[in-house]
Amino acid sequence: MKKKILLLHGALGSTSQFEELAKLLSKTFSVFQYDFPGHHGKAFPEERLTVSLLQKHLHEYVREFQLTGCLVFGYSMGGYVALKQESVSHGTFSGIFTLATKFDWSPEIAQKEKAMLNPAKMMEKVPEYADMLMHRHFPGDWKQVCEETAYLMEHLGKHAMSADDFDNVHCKVRLAVGDRDMMVTLAETQRIYTELPDASLLVMPHTSHPIEKVNQAYLTEEICRFAAEL
């Protein structure tokens, strides 16, 4: 029987970005993919988006589909939410593989990220990206996705995970970061690597932040290598 793996997308993302990765992983794993609330056309919850809210919805999904003990791959925000889930509910995952997950959050950093999520400015300055988001989250409102993500980041700037939270993550973790990632630094990834009880660090060569630009075959190999160690 194949091991189960759960794929978690990043902020503004959706499972549609994992098409190639899921196909490659399906040769080795039974692949599950989860869209966070409000993304990929899903309805928004009554509460505003926060990491804790996303973690609770993720927990419900894991229980519904009997995924407790599976391996999880979390890209960017997805990796952060996976670590949050494991910190509050030990044993949810057998291992967590993150890629391009940002760990340095402060009110100042959050405001900087929030400033780039103004729908009107996005339509004016990066219309192709705005159009892509519109199609990605249809029939949902991509503008609301941006606004809720901006709120999530602002909240995260004031309520980031602490060293104690990371110390509560007891499963194996591999933190991967691209050597050309302009959003996530090696330094912040390395800092969290030292705070986790059972972690390893992977620097992926010739790799920038967007998941679409990551070598999917190489990423698959690294995920399989990590799974073999569990």
Q: What is the pLDDT of residues 57-82, one digit of tens each?
A: 999 999 999 999 999 999 999 999 99
Contact at 8 Å (CB) between 114 and 154? yes
Residue 88 belongs to a domain: yes
Residue 140 belongs to a domain: no
Tens-place pLDDT, residues 164-199: 999 999 999 999 999 999 999 999 999 999 999 999
Domain range for 76: 3-103+162-228
Residue 19 belongs to a domain: yes
pLDDT score at 129: 94
Q: Kindly tell me if the per-residue pLDDT of 17 is higher than 90.
A: yes
Total domains present in the chain: 1
Question: Which pair of structure tokens corresponds to residue 59?
Answer: 């927990």
Q: Kindly tell me if the per-residue pLDDT of 31 is higher than 90.
A: yes
**Who's near 181: CB < 8 A, 6+ residues apart?**
100, 207, 208, 209
Q: Which residues pair with 93 in a beta bridge?
A: 70
Q: What is the mean pLDDT of residues 35-63?
A: 96
The answer to whether the Cα torsion of 134, 135, 137, 140 is positive or negative is positive
Q: What is the mean pLDDT of residues 50-54?
A: 97
Question: Which pair of structure tokens corresponds to residue 153?
Answer: 């980041």
Q: Kindly tell me if the per-residue pLDDT of 1 is higher than 90.
A: no
* Separation CA 92–CA 84 (nearest Å): 11
Question: Which pair of structure tokens corresponds to residue 206?
Answer: 């010739």
With 0-12 / 13-18 / 19 or more C-beta atoms within 10 angstroms meaning exposed / middle / buried, residue 166 is buried
Q: What percentage of the chain has pLDDT greater than the value 70?
A: 100
Q: Kindly tell me if the per-residue pLDDT of 14 is higher than 90.
A: yes
Residue 139 belongs to a domain: no
Residue 154 belongs to a domain: no
What CATH number does residue 9 fall under? Answer: 3.40.50.1820
Q: What percentage of the chain has pLDDT greater than the value 90?
A: 99
Q: Kindly tell me if the per-residue pLDDT of 117 is higher than 90.
A: yes
pLDDT score at 69: 97
Q: What is the mean pLDDT of residues 39-58?
A: 96
Find the DSSP H helices in the chain: 19-25, 51-64, 77-88, 107-114, 119-125, 127-136, 142-158, 163-167, 186-195, 216-228
Q: What does the CA dihedral 76, 81, 84, 85 come to, rounded to 10 degrees?
A: -140
Residue 177 CA neighbour count, 13 Å, CB half: 21
Residue 134 belongs to a domain: no
Residue 142 belongs to a domain: no
For residue 79, what are the CA distances in angstroms to 13, 125, 167? 13, 29, 16
Q: What is the mean pLDDT of residues 141-160?
A: 96
54 CB neighbour count, 10 Å cutoff = 25
Residue 144 belongs to a domain: no
Question: Which pair of structure tokens corresponds to residue 30?
Answer: 């039974």
* Separation CA 11–CA 4 (nearest Å): 23
Place of tokens 């060569």: 205
